[in-house]
Chain A
Amino acid sequence: MSHAELPAALHGLMAEFETPTALVRAAEQARLAGYREMDAYSPIPIEELNEALGLRRTRLPKLVFLGGVIGGTAGYALQYWSQAMAYPMNIGGRPYHSWPHFIPVTFETTVLGAALACFVGMWALNKLPQPYHPVFNVPEFARASLDRFFLCIESTDPKFDREETARFLAGLHPVGVSEVAP
């Protein structure tokens, strides 16, 4: 690589590992070395990475709770309004606001609201679907969904230096280190 093209933007540097353990260790060391803008990629979920990368707890449970509350309220309100106000009917002398009858549907709409919030919320927080991402420029990355584990230190990290970071990654005993075109 020639120094003339150094300023050419780089998404980051990516190291490839063979085992989940190696990836977690690498992530821990990169964090110890002061790197923050990085991500790990793996074919299986690895719980230990959350700590190694310093990931914060997700807001998703709060969204799901909110979705459930909205779903339940909307479901009950719909029943109250339609049965007691918009279209009151005398069914066996029951009160128009016969709340025990409204519980099953309220339950179902609560579940529906929570599930939709969970589904939409998870993909939205993950910013998916995303048609293009630089990591796919690395040919080896095709194995990230099979049997290889990757750690990518991104060029936005203040400590990122093309040479220095590459040396650091090489010191973690990876299978290889690749530059990730943006």
Chain B
Amino acid sequence: MWAIVVMLIGALIAAEELPDLIRGKRRGDIWLFAALLLAGTGLGVAQSLRVEIPNPLDAISFVFAPVGKFLEALFM
């Protein structure tokens, strides 16, 4: 049910912003907006269907947690 709500919200956002964007006639603006909206709707649908979404913090922790642990060992 929530997946449909997310898609509806995506459609509403497109209806709100696209007319102005098309009138502005800037290709780049329209592409970036469309890409972000697709990403947002896709992620929202995936989340509402309880699909496992990779956590960006895992990647950040992979790189930076050893640095933090090293600092802790240095000071403690």
Q: Do A and B come from one complex?
A: no
